[in-house]
Each structure stands twice: as structure tokens, then as C-alpha cells.
Amino acid sequence: MGKNQLERILGIDRIIRDRGGCTKEELLVLFEVSGKSVERDFAYMRDRLHAPLDYNRHNELYTYSDSSYFLPSVSLSEGEVMALALSSEILNHFNYVDDFNELRDSLGRMTSYLLAFRGSWYIVARDPSRGNIRTYALGRMQKPYKTNTTFTIPADFRLEDYVDPEWGIYSRREKYDFVLTFTPRVADLIREKIWHRDQKLEELADGSVVLSFSSGQIETIGQWVLGWGADVHVASPVDLIERIKETASRLGNMYG
């Protein structure tokens, strides 16, 4: 599978998961490819990645028949992960490659939580060199292994202060209040799913729906919002509005 096809498949998966489905026409416009390319992507997902793709002829949507399905994304197999015997109360040693693909020279020893999120494994741990809580992708660790040392979880530690399971594993401590209005054309897709455990839905007279919730995942949510195009209006937060304006300006310059 080439890089371009991989990018498309990741995009298709993200759209289906976030929006509940997608049409072939939407993908043609989004990826600027031929219908045959999209059909090959669907075939690869079904045959090689075992994706439970379904097609609804009534609304022309491609969906997942099994919502628990995730694209393979962990560099370690499930057996290898289990063999590591990582638990929620152990200390671990590893070398880690961060977001900039720079190998850290020192070995890290840290108290940690092991989490599974969207098909990938993560460790939420205290970084001993910085003294703060950070999130690490297990797939980027080199030669992790179990130690026999245990630790006590601090009584005031709240995992939900560091991760937002609905939207992402990397989360800021700062919370944002999101207020998003979706047009009648896509309102049913918003109503059909619980997007956040603390969400509120407000029905408007014209058939639009307002989705409100708080989260620290402004980057992930921003990407999700952009995927809805003109079918969503952001009333809050201001930071997200400015990000969307900047993206719209860059797109205008790119295609104008």
C-alpha cells in the first residue's frame, strides 16, 4: 500500500468513525481522486484490513457494521503487548521516540497507567526528569519491559484530568467550552451518537441542533469540525474560531 492510499484509508476511517458514514462522492471531492481509486481503497479495507464496510443504497452511505472495529495501528502485536505484562501499577523502562522522532538518550523509569484508545496502546505516566504527567504511545517505545517494583497511586490523582476518552489521549489541562451548531442536513447524524459524556443537545426551530460540551482536545476537535465543512458553525471557543479562520484563509490562498 502506497503512502497516498494509506492517507486516504486513514481519512476514510476517521470520517466514518466521526460522522457515522460517508458517501463516495464526498471522498472524490476530499481526496481529488477517481472513483476507481476510492473503490480500490474500499476493497483494500475489506480484504486486507478486514474492515466491516457496509453500503446503504438508500442514503448512499458507507458505514461500519461493527462500531468496535479499529484499523490496525499498533506496531506491537496483541501477543507481544500481553507478553510485556504491563499493568496499571508497575514501573517501566524504555527508550521513547517523541512526536519529532528524536530518540531520547536516557532510559525512563516511571509510574504509569496503561490505556487502550482507538486500537492503540498508551501509557500515562509521571516523567521523572520533568516531574509532570505525560502521555506516551506504546508503539513508539523501544525495548519496554516489566519491572517487579510497584507503586501507590496518589489519592488525588484523577486520570480524567489528563485524558479525554471521547476525543483523544493527549489532552491539555485547560478545558474549552465547545458550542457547535449543525445544519438540518447533518443534524440527524449528530443526534444519533453520544459525542461526549457531558454533552448537551439543543434543538432549534429550523431543524438545526446545537452540541455543547467541555474538553481539552482542541486540536482533535478542530480537525473533526473542519470535516463537517459548512454544515457546522462554531460559536465557542474563540481559539477554535481563530484556527478555523486561519485554515480557511490558507485554503483560499491555496485554491484561489
* Any domain includes 200: yes
Q: Give the model's confidence band at 203: pLDDT under 50 very low, under 70 low, under 90 confident, else very high.
A: very high
Classify the phi-psi angles of 185: left when phi > 0, otherwise alpha if psi is within -120 to 50, otherwise beta: alpha
* Any domain includes 170: no
> Which domain-ending residue is among 109, 130, 157?
157
Same domain, 83 and 19: no
Per-residue pLDDT tens digits for 46-84: 888 888 999 988 888 899 888 777 776 433 344 433 433
Partnered with residue 164 across adjacent β-strands are 168
Work out the mean pLDDT of the chain and round it to a whole number: 75
Per-residue pLDDT tens digits for 219-228: 888 888 988 9
pTM to 2 decimal places = 0.48
Partnered with residue 142 across adjacent β-strands are 95
Q: Give the model's confidence band at 171: pLDDT under 50 very low, under 70 low, under 90 confident, else very high.
A: low
Per-residue pLDDT tens digits for 79-134: 433 433 333 333 344 444 443 333 333 334 444 555 555 556 777 777 766 667 77
> Which domain-ending residue is among 40, 64, 88?
64
Distance CA 166, CA 81 (A): 23
